[in-house]
Amino acid sequence: MNVKQPLYRLIARTGEAARYWEKHGKTEWQQAWEELLAEFEELLPSGSGFDAGTKIEHASASKIVLRTSFHHMNEHGYYDGWTEHVITVIPDLVNGFDLRISGRNKNGVKEYIADVFFDVLKQEFIWDGHKIKRAEP
C-alpha cells in the first residue's frame, strides 16, 4: 500500500511506532522503526548552511524535536561561526503544525530556518512500507 503523506506526519507516526514497541519490549521492532527515523533524517536540511545536517531527537504524536546547526558567512563570503538550534514541531489544528526555533538569532537566521524547515516538513512523500520516495506534485 502506497501512502502519500507530508514528512512531518511520517516522522511523528514512525516515532510513535518506535515508542510503542519499546514499551512492549519488542526491541527488534523498535530498532526497525528507529532505523526508518534515521532514513527520514536524510530528507531533512543538510548543506547550504546546515552543514552538520539535522538530527531527530524525539518524534511522537504530540511533537517532533529536531537539532541542527547553522554555519554563518560574513559579507565577504568567509565562514564566521556556528549557531545551534532546536526546532520543535507542534500540532496546529488549522495549519497542520507550527514551529518553535530556539538558539541565537544571529543575522536573523531563525526566520530562514523556519522557512526551510516548514517547506521540507510539508513536502509529501510516499512510503510503501519498505522505502520512501518524494511524491510527484
Whole-model pTM: value is 0.91
The helix or strand, by DSSP H or E, that contains position 124, with its residue range, turns out to be: strand 124-127
Q: How many CB atoms lie within 10 A of CB 61?
A: 12
pLDDT of 133 higher than 90: no
Section 108-125 average pLDDT: 96
CA dihedral of residues 92, 1, 40, 29 (deg, nearest 10):
100
For the stretch 46-94, pLDDT in tens is 998 999 999 999 999 999 999 999 999 988 989 999 999 999 999 999 9
pLDDT of 1 higher than 60: no
Q: Where are the domains of the chain?
A: 3-134
Place of cell 506534485: 137
The helix or strand, by DSSP H or E, that contains position 133, with its residue range, turns out to be: strand 132-134
Phi-psi region of 7 (alpha: psi -120 to 50; beta: other; left: phi over 0): alpha
